[in-house]
Structures are given as structure tokens and as C-alpha cells.
């Protein structure tokens, strides 16, 4: 899951560098990946449901 | 009518406040030795989504799109929190209620849900108080704004490193990397 935090970090880097469109795209990608990980967790097994 | 500088200061203060919540999560992780669960990490990501929206306000001025980003991220993070609340809503007899330590009688995921709800309510207030900056606006943030933005970025980097140490590059299970 560390790569998900890295995608948010890249989004912050885009904000700091003044690239608004890239930041919005990065956030959309990060959120989509987070939701995908959530569904992976909720459908894979009980050991992931914490 | 221009947006008052005070509103941008409040925006940055909200960034710092939410960052301190994430610092508090680090206290539970390293101070109390409670390894964060997968859903806990996902809730942190929801908070970073909210922080991205606040950072967009700092860098490019108040825009309705940024408010939409904040509300959307809060809804996603709030969904993760509610999922975890529902998982522990009916404790098994003889086993500890909830997951992890409680703060003021509520577990961290319940507090996270409250934070996300408060974020949505706060954004509604901001939408009433602010006006859209013209398209293409790039603000010159104050030192306080820049400090808040840098602090948030450092906390995000710290989360990436901590998660890598805990789970490696893959998915996390209850107590570390998935087998």
C-alpha cells in the first residue's frame, strides 16, 4: 500500500510545482486506486477486514 | 469582491489541524505499538485526499472544483470509516470491543468518521464565505501557507515510508505484509 501514499505524494508535488491539471489527475488516480484496494480488502478474506 | 486573506489562513490552519490528526495516528503506531490495520491506512489516504483539496486552495485560490475535491475525498474516506465501524458494531462476547485503543470512549475509526463529516460541514461553510478566483490564478502563498503545505507533504512521505517498512510494496494484512 506504500505506493498509494506515493501517488498522493506525487499529487502534492504537482500542487507545489503549480501543475493544477496534473494534481487533479493524480488525485483522481490515487482515489481510484484507494477504492480498488478497499474492494480488494473487503472481498479477499476476513483477515483483511480490520 | 476578493477573498479575505484570513480565509486562506484558516484554510492552512485546517491543513495543519488535519495533519496533526495524522501525527496522532503515528503516536498510536510508534508510541503505543499499535500496527495500523489496512482500513486504517485507507482512512489516512482519505485524509490526504482532503488535504490535496485544501492544498489546491492554497496554491490556486478558492474554486468550487477544489471544494468538490474535498467533499469527494471526505466521502470516500468516510465510507472506509463507516465500513470499519459496521465491522465492529456488534462485539463478540468475551472479546474486546472494537479494534485498537479508544480515545475519549471512541475508537480511531469513529473519530475518523467524525473528522470526515466535519470536513464536509466545514467545506459547506467555506463555499458560503468564499468566491471563485478567476481561472488560471496562481496565488503567492504566505510563509504560513507554505509551511503548512510543506508539513503536509512531509507527513505524506512519512506515511509512505512507514507503510513500506510495515508491509513492503504490496498490500497490508492485519499485522504487516500479506502472506
Question: Are β-strands B102-103 and B176-177 bridged in parallel, bridged antiparallel, or unpaired?
Answer: unpaired
For residue A34, is it within any domain?
Answer: yes
Residue A48 contacts B where some CB pair is shorter than 8 Å: yes
- A1 CB neighbours in chain B (<8 A) are 38, 41-42, 163, 167, 170-172
- Which residues, including other chains, have CB under 8 Å from residue B8's CB and lie 6 or more apart? B57, B58, B139, B141, B142, B145
Identify any residues that bridge with B176 across adjacent strands, giving them in sequence order.
Answer: B173
Give the predicted TM-score (pTM) of the model. Answer: 0.90
For residue A47, is it within any domain?
Answer: no
pLDDT at position A49 is 54
Determine whether the interchain pair B42/A42 forms a contact, defined as Cβ–Cβ distance below 8 Å.
no
Determine whether the interchain pair B48/A47 forms a contact, defined as Cβ–Cβ distance below 8 Å.
no
Residue B177 DSSP SS3: strand
CA distances from B145 to A14, B15, B95, B155 (A): 16, 9, 46, 16
For residue A50, is it within any domain?
Answer: no
pLDDT at position B56 is 94
pLDDT tens per residue across span A1-50: 888 999 999 999 999 998 999 999 999 999 999 999 888 877 776 555 55
Give the closest-approach CA distance of B156 to chain A in angstroms: 6
Number of domains in chain A: 1
**Do the beta carbons of residue B99 and residue A50 sit within 8 Å?**
yes
Smallest Cα–Cα separation from A7: which of B5, B50, B49, B21? B49
Determine whether the interchain pair A47/B163 forms a contact, defined as Cβ–Cβ distance below 8 Å.
no
pLDDT at position A29 is 94
pLDDT at position B99 is 78
For residue A18, is it within any domain?
Answer: yes
Residue-number span of the structural domain to which A11 is assigned: 2-40
- B173 CB neighbours in chain A (<8 A) are 47-48
Residue A20 DSSP SS3: helix
pLDDT at position A2 is 85
For residue A28, is it within any domain?
Answer: yes
pLDDT at position B166 is 83
How far is residue B108's CA from residue B176's CA, in Å, rounded to a whole number? 19
- Residue B108 burial (CB count, 10 A): 25
pLDDT at position B21 is 92
For residue A49, is it within any domain?
Answer: no
Residue A50 contacts B where some CB pair is shorter than 8 Å: yes
ipTM value for the complex: 0.90
Determine whether the interchain pair A6/B87 forms a contact, defined as Cβ–Cβ distance below 8 Å.
no
- Which of B44, B168, B173 comes nearest A47 by C-beta? B173
- A40 CB neighbours in chain B (<8 A) are 171
Determine whether the interchain pair B41/A15 forms a contact, defined as Cβ–Cβ distance below 8 Å.
no
Smallest Cα–Cα separation from A26: which of A37, A10, A39? A10
- Residue B142 burial (CB count, 10 A): 14
For residue A46, is it within any domain?
Answer: no
Determine whether the interchain pair B149/A34 forms a contact, defined as Cβ–Cβ distance below 8 Å.
no
Predicted confidence pLDDT, tens digits, chain B (179 residues): 577 888 899 999 999 999 999 999 888 888 888 877 888 889 999 999 999 999 999 999 899 999 999 999 999 999 999 988 888 887 777 777 777 777 888 888 899 999 999 999 999 999 998 888 877 777 788 899 999 999 999 999 999 998 888 888 777 776 666 66
pLDDT at position A47 is 56
How far is residue B9's CA from residue B146's CA, in Å, rounded to a whole number? 11
Amino acid at each position: 500500500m506504500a505506493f498509494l501514499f506515493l501517488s498522493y505524494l506525487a499529487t502534492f508535488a504537482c500542487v507545489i510545482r503549480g501543475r493544477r491539471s496534473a494534481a487533479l489527475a493524480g488525485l483522481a488516480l490515487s482515489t481510484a486506486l484507494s477504492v480498488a484496494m478497499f474492494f480488494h480488502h473487503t472481498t479477499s478474506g476476513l483477515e483483511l477486514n480490520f | 469582491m476578493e477573498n479575505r486573506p484570513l480565509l486562506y489562513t484558516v484554510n492552512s490552519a485546517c491543513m495543519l489541524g488535519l495533519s496533526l490528526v495524522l501525527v496522532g495516528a503515528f503516536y498510536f503506531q510508534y508510541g503505543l505499538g499499535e500496527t495500523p490495520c489496512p482500513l486504517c491506512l485507507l482512512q489516512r489516504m482519505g485524509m490526504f485526499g482532503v488535504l490535496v483539496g485544501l492544498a489546491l486552495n492554497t496554491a490556486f485560490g478558492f474554486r468550487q472544483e477544489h471544494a468538490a475535491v474535498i467533499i469527494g475525498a471526505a466521502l470516500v474516506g468516510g465510507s472506509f470509516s463507516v465500513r470499519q465501524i459496521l465491522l465492529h458494531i456488534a462485539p463478540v462476547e468475551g472479546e474486546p470491543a472494537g479494534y485498537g485503543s479508544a480515545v475519549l470512549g471512541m475508537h480511531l475509526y469513529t473519530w475518523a468518521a467524525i473528522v470526515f463529516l466535519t470536513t464536509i460541514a466545514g467545506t459547506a461553510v467555506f463555499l458560503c464565505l468564499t468566491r471563485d478566483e478567476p481561472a488560471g490564478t496562481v496565488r503567492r502563498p504566505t510563509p504560513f501557507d507554505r509551511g503548512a503545505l510543506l508539513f503536509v507533504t512531509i507527513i505524506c512521505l512519512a506515511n509512505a515510508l512507514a507503510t513500506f517498512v510495515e508491509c513492503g510494496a504490496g498490500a497490508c494484512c492485519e499485522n504487516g505484509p500479506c502472506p
